[in-house]
Amino acid sequence: MDRAGKLVERTIARNLKGLDFLTMPPAKVGLTPKEVLYERGTLRLYHYLPQADELYRVPILLVMATTNKAYVFDLAPGQSMVEYLLKEGFDVYVIDWEPPLPEERSLSLADYTQDFIPTCVQMVIDDSGEPDLSIVGYCMGGVLSLIYAASHTDGPLKNLVCLTTPVNWAEMGLTRIWSDEKHFDVDRLVDTLGVVPQDFVQASFEMLRPAQKSASQIRVWEKMWDDEFVKSYRAFDRWGNETLPLAGEYFRDTTKELMWANKLYKGNLVVNGKTAKLSDIKVPIMAAMAEHDHIVAYKASKPLMDLVGSEDKEEIVLKGGHVSLIAGPNAVRRMWPKLAEWLGERSV
């Protein structure tokens, strides 16, 4: 077909599909079959039903960032890290978060790392019947996993994977500048609001790339004829708009202990009376970073490998951004196979 014909065809398709696009219900996400294993307040622990005839011995626990929903691990069939891992023969559990309620304002960093994660780890151990497990943490979920690992060195953790996980918070770019203690009164914010609202969290992400939303909308209009592109856009768009509010004390802890004092990086973080030194982590560890990550800059996650005490450690740096690392085309081609290969070797 000549170029003019193709243009006309796409214009017609764009107009017809554009109307559907505006009236469609939200994209269906998180379709891989799962069961709720445990729920308490903001915390959810899911177990995905195995999809292979034979499983690796060691189960995997994915820990989602507290700012977003975990269905980014399971956006759509064929675009799902969970589905990929299940088909590769892993037994997969996921920690997800619901928006914390006003009465959960007092949940702190200690609650997440010394109560929620250990409870879920125990649930996975009990459910799988295995004595150990691998943890895969994404973004802030990686930070929580690192703090858990560093403060539970005699626990059942066998392998640890950190995906786009900030360690040196001094390198957090604009986020660090905006939340500088000179201007940002975190106590006033938390004491007044209790739970940090969803709008605030979402705005702080969107301000990092202010033109991104408009440019994406223009792009999807232009590509309205391409069903696969639209399907993927709708799933990502829904996920991006479902940012979660944050429990106030947790936000205060994160700001003061991690962002301002940079204690995880400096090795003097104490949570609930327990020291969380990265050098105490000795289990095999892999870190995956994105070259063009605008949320967690490469420089912020880079020092992890030098700080942990593990002998078996590997770092991979992939092209792409913060989200495409785990759910974009590059994730499908490179990150997921690498993750499955690395974990497979250590899951017998």
Q: Using the minimum distance from each CB to other proteins, give the nearer residue, 306 or 341.
A: 341
Per CB under 8 A, does 3 bind other proteins? yes
Least distance CB 34 / other proteins (angstroms): 15
Examine residue 36 and tell whether it contacts other proteins (CB under 8 A): no
- Binder among 87, 219, 319, 333 for other proteins (CB under 8 A): 219
Residue pair 282/153 in contact (Cβ under 8 Å)? The answer is yes
DSSP 8-state assignment for residue 70:
G
For the record, the structure tokens of 33 come out as 């079959």
How far CA 52 is from CA of 83, 146, 311, 335, in Å, comes to 11, 30, 31, 20
What distances in angstroms separate CA 319 from CA 134, 288, 303, 328, one per listed residue?
Answer: 25, 11, 19, 11
Gap between the Cα atoms of 271 and 108, Å rounded: 10
**Is the Cβ of residue 170 or residue 207 nearer to other proteins in the bound state?**
207
CB of 223 to other proteins, least distance (A): 8
In the bound state with other proteins, the residue whose beta carbon lies nearer, of 128 and 164, is: 128
Number of chain residues interacting with other proteins (CB under 8 A)? 58
Q: Which residues neighbour 134 within 8 Å (Cβ) at sequence distance 6 or greater? A: 58, 59, 60, 61, 157, 158, 159, 160, 161, 343, 346, 347
SS3 280: helix
| Residue labelled with tokens 């675009």 | 79
Least CB distance to other proteins at residue 267 (A): 28
State which residue, 37 or 266, has the beta carbon closest to other proteins. Answer: 37
* Residues engaged in binding other proteins (CB under 8 A): 3, 7, 10, 38-41, 50, 52-57, 89, 91, 101-106, 119, 123, 126-127, 129-130, 173-174, 177-178, 180, 182-185, 188-189, 192-194, 207-212, 214-215, 218-219, 222, 341, 344-345, 347-348
